[in-house]
Every structure is written in structure tokens, then in C-alpha cells.
Structure 1
Amino acid sequence: THTFHSIRSLRLCCVCNDVLQSSDDDEKRMKRREKNRVAAQRSRKRQTQRADELHEAYECLEQQNSLLKKEVQVLLEEQKRLAEALQSHEPLCPVLNHEPLCPV
């Protein structure tokens, strides 16, 4: 019976060790999951921040593009006005008509 009790005690001890080991594993797993959760949260926050920055840059570029398009229109109108002025000046211009500037 002494051997029986020793074996039984050994089995109980092994069961206790398994429970303790399982508890340690559970604790490690929970800590690892918590670290992973926090890291994922940080990653999502960085991703959102980056998306916000890109959206802000996009808005700024859209405004610049709009202003540049307006500037192009103004310059095209000025070019047209100057071309018309040149065209009306050409028939009267002695230089363009190869006439001497000072009549002899």
C-alpha cells in the first residue's frame, strides 16, 4: 500500500504540475495576446494618421491645381490679347515691312 500511495502521490504531483504549467502557459498566452492587441492598435492608429496626412496633402494639391488652372487661363487670355495687338500692329510696322526707319 505504501507503493500505491507513492504512485498516487506522484500522479497527483504530475497533475498539479500540469495545472501549474497550463496556468503559466495561459498567462504567457494572455500577455502575448495583450502585447499583440496593443501593437495592432498602434499600427491601426499610425495607418489612420498616415491616411489623414495623405488626404490633407491631396486637398492641398487640389487647391494648388485649381489656382494653377486659373493662372493658365489668365495667361492664355493675355497671350491672345498680345497676339491680337501684334497682328493689328504688323501692317503698320516699318521694321516688319522692311522699310527704312529714317527716310533718306
Structure 2
Amino acid sequence: MSAAGLSGAFLHRSADLHVLPECEEDEDDDRRNKRREKNRAAAQRSRKKQTQRADRLHEEYECLEQENLLLRKEVQTLTEEQRRLTEALKAHEPLCLIMHCSAGLMSHTRMELLSGGLPR
């Protein structure tokens, strides 16, 4: 064979290498389609899972917001009650005999302890 004949035969053979038989092409297409379908299904499951997680977080957020609102109301109520009780105590102090007696008793007891005597 001449050089031209050899190169022509080589080109013909190398072109044949790139051409797959029809059944192999079908198998490749089937594998590719199966892979695409599996990927599509996995992506769909992932999106569904992400949506469910977002829904759960939103529900939890709403519950926490509601709880926060109730706690703020309770703090407000307790603050108001503390204010009222403090005012009532301040109004009562000048009239309280017990506080005056106990204050006198305390100072009397303190004086005896300081002087070395024991309270009776």
C-alpha cells in the first residue's frame, strides 16, 4: 500500500472508533436518562425537605413571638404591682407602730450589747 492508502485506511479506522454501535448508544442514553431522573427526584426531595424545615421554623417563630408577648404582659403587670405595693408601704411607714417599736427595740438591744449587757 502507498502512503496515501495507509493514511486513508487509518482515517477510516479512527473514524470507526468514535462511532458506537446503536445498542451501546441506547445504553448510554438509558444510563444518562436514569441518572437525570434520579437527580431530578433527589432535587425534588431536597426542595420539599427545605420547605418543610422553613415551615417548622416559621411555626416555631410564631410560638416564640406569642410567648414573648405574654411574658412582656406579665412583666408589665408585675412591675405595676411592685409600684403599687411600694407606694402602699411608703404611705404606711409613718403610721406603722410595729416599725417604730422594732426600731426602738433594735436600738435598745444594740445599746445593751455595746455596753456589755445582755438583752432580757
**Residues 1:15 and 1:91: Cα distance change in structure 2 (over 3 Å):** closer
Report Cα offsets for 1:34-92 as digits up to 9, x if no partner: 01101110110010011001001100110110111111110000000000011011112
Match of 2:86 among 83, 88, 98: 83
TM-score, length of structure 2 as denominator length: 0.66
Deviating above 4 A after TM superposition, structure 1's stretches of 4 or more consecutive aligned residues are 14-17
Q: How many angstroms apart in 2 are the aligned matches of 1:75 and 1:96?
A: 26
TM-score, length of structure 1 as denominator length: 0.75
The aligned length equals: 89
Q: How many angstroms apart in 1 are the aligned matches of 2:60 and 2:72?
A: 18
In structure 2, the partner of 1:53 is 56
What are the residue-to-residue correspondences of 1:29-44 with 2, within 5 Å? 29-44=32-47
Which is higher, the Rg of structure 1 or of structure 2? 2
1:26 aligns with 2:29: yes
In structure 2, the partner of 1:92 is 95
Between the aligned residues of both structures, percent identity stands at 61
Q: CA RMSD in A?
A: 2.2
